[in-house]
Amino acid sequence: MKLLTILALFAVSLSALAEKRSITLVNYETDGVKQWLPGTIIVKKGDDVEITLINNVPSGVHGFMIPDFGVEKQVKKGVKEVVTFKADKDGLFNMKCQLHPAHVGGQLLVLP
């Protein structure tokens, strides 16, 4: 009985861990290579994710896309943009700039 109570409390505390995650990504250019940093972000399944995007690259507009979560945004230099989504599936997903194939991509890791 004691064990069941402990397990129940553990389950409740686990479900309470699903929460809002606020993350900021900044687009940098170094020696002609453009990249959203940090290049890998980690959330938990069930989280409500909010990503603030700051583009510091002088060449202008860059994109930010996470195809598996329907996220797509264009970001002008000097204009913050915010995207939100529910991390409703776990796994490893690509993040990329949909405007420039050469723009270095990143990864989103959603923990189960």
Q: Does 100 bind Cu ion (CB under 5 A)?
A: yes
Q: Does 97 bind Cu ion (CB under 5 A)?
A: yes
Shortest CB 38 distance to Cu ion, Å = 17
- Residue of minimal CB distance from Cu ion? 97
Among 65, 83, 96, 103, binds Cu ion (CB under 5 A): 103
C-beta contacts of 60-64 below 8 A and 24+ residues apart? 61/99, 62/27, 62/34, 62/97, 62/99, 62/100, 62/103, 63/96, 63/97, 63/98, 63/99, 63/100, 63/103, 64/25, 64/36, 64/95, 64/97, 64/98
- Give the count of residues interacting with Cu ion (CB under 5 A): 5
Shortest CB 28 distance to Cu ion, Å = 11
Residues that bind Cu ion (CB under 5 A): 62, 97, 99-100, 103
